[in-house]
Amino acid sequence: MAYKVLIYEDAQKFINNLDKVNRGRIKDFLIDLAKTDNPRSFGDYKPLIGSNDCRYRVGDYRIICEIEDEIITVFVIRVEHRKKIYKKR
């Protein structure tokens, strides 16, 4: 069963402000992620230490997600450049 992908508002704003090429790459990745039956075996998945979140790598950008198996949903929490994504806010 395919997972639903929900994007938080801040992540969507960041995606919308990217240049056309990177925006397209990230959107294509998220569309393909929504078609998969197991998001943990898709793309460059890596769990983040110390939290329930995980990350996917798409070029120079990172997508931070939370996977909820009970409701078959992937929540996209943040999207940012690799130099900024792991720094504390």
Q: Which among 69, 49, 48 has a CA at the least distance from the CA of 57?
A: 48
Phi, psi of 22 (to 5 degrees): -70, -35
pLDDT of 64-79, one tens digit each?
999 999 999 999 999 9
Domains and CATH numbers, the chain: 4-81 (3.30.2310.20)
Cα–Cα distance between 40 and 11 in angstroms, integer? Answer: 20
pLDDT range class, residue 88, cuts 50, 70, 90: low
pLDDT of 14-73, one tens digit each?
999 999 999 999 999 999 999 999 999 999 999 998 888 999 999 999 999 999 999 999
Q: Characterize the bridge pairing of strands 45-47 and 73-81.
A: unpaired
Cα–Cα distance between 76 and 54 in angstroms, integer? Answer: 10
Q: Which among 82, 64, 88 has a CA at the least distance from the CA of 10?
A: 64
